[in-house]
Structure 1
Amino acid sequence: MSERLQPGDPAPDFTLPDADGNEVSLADHRGRKVIVYFYPAALTPGCTKQACDFTDNLELLAGAGYDVIGISPDKPEKLAKFREKEQLRVTLLADPDKKVLDAYGAFGEKKLYGKTTVGVIRSTVIVDEEGKVERALYNVKATGHVAKIIKDLGI
């Protein structure tokens, strides 16, 4: 199990394919703050709620200087279906080999209905303009999470 990130840590750089197969890197966003959120699976109820919440608040977040990137182990084709079905406007990236999920501490043991399983830990990492971790939130809830981030960031 990977280490969880702490504020002040350098955010691990990554380059992953988006829903259209185009490469997107964290470095592409240098100079802006980035909300990187990790979710278990596209087209599932909780992940859909979270992605829709980010999409609904995208203009507010962008206006405050934040880009939003969602990362899951899904393949780009599934992300494209997810984006089309839910009319998502956030950048969705595919990490099927879970290297980035692991680097961010968003993959490992978690409790699900009282059982310990291994999988994606719903997490959000906020990266500052210089590529350092500003906040690292683990085991977040899908519902209400975006509103809490907006409140906590004072947007």
Structure 2
Amino acid sequence: MTHLQPGDIAPDFTLPLDDGTNFTLSQQLGRPVVLFFYPQDDSGGCVDENREFSALAAEFGDRGAVLIGISPDDLDSHQAFRRKYGLAVPLIADPERKAIEAFGVWQLKKLYGREFMGLVRTSFIIDAEGRIAKVIRATRIKGHAAKMLEALDSFRAKG
């Protein structure tokens, strides 16, 4: 699991979005940010996850939250992925794993008895002050976006 915990200051980063602009986390102060880290564009589970987040993008926006997906894929891959599936969520390209490693989601994984380093599908809610409010590892892809929306509502109700 990530080393970041609720209350920690979220690691700042500036990385390119698939629309050609840059996204800087610290420039989002004043509103919550929902970051979802996923392993790879155009792979089965990642397609499902991105479609679910896209279907709920307006609801995240209605709550004042910035919703962003991040993977180690490059900009060309992100642009093709968004076009192919009509995705509504902006995607950050992090092929050098700057944010991925800063958020602690590049970890040792095991699949069919083989160990390898990879991205562990994890989402974060960052509060308006730039602190981690919630960390949720996506142990099940189906429903993860809805679970993050519920977590955002719960966080907002406490605030």
Q: Same fold (TM over 0.5)?
A: yes
Aligned to 2:56: 57
Does the residue aligned with 2:12 lie in a helix, a strand or coil?
coil
Shift of 1:10: 0.3
1:89, 1:65 → 2: CA distance?
Answer: 16
Q: Deviations over 1:19-48 (max 9, x none)?
A: 133211112321110100100001111111
Partner of 1:137: 136
Query: What is aligned with 2:19?
Result: 20
Distance in 1 (alpha carbons) for counterparts of 2:113 and 2:127: 35
Deviation at 1:130, TM superposition (A): 0.7
Number of residues of Structure 1 aligned to a counterpart in Structure 2 = 154
Is the CA contact (8 Å cut-off) linking 1:11 and 1:131 kept in structure 2? yes
Judge conservation of contact 1:36–1:125 (CA < 8 Å) in 2: yes
Would you identify which runs of 4 or more consecutive aligned residues in structure 1 move more than 6 Å? none
CA distance in 2, matches of 1:74, 1:66: 24
In structure 2, how many angstroms separate the alpha carbons of the residues matched to 1:78 and 1:43?
A: 9
Contact 2:108 2:118 in 1 (8 A): yes
1:121, 1:7 → 2: CA distance?
Answer: 18
Gaps of 5+ in 1: none
Q: Distance in 2 between matches of 1:92 and 1:136?
A: 19
Equivalent residue, structure 2, for 1:11: 10
**2:131 is equivalent to residue 126 of structure 1:** no
Percent of residue pairs bearing the same amino acid type: 38
Q: How does 1:6-155 map to 2 (within 5 A)?
A: 6-154=5-153
Q: Deviations over 1:74-105 (max 9, x none)?
A: 00000000110111111100000112100001
Where in structure 2 are there 5+ consecutive unaligned residues? Answer: 155-159
Aligned residue type for 1:54: F
Distance 1:69 1:109 in 2: 24
Query: 2:13 touches 2:98 (CA, 8 Å); kept in 1?
Result: no
Amino acid in the other structure paired with 2:129 = E
What residue identity is the alignment partner of 2:111?
L
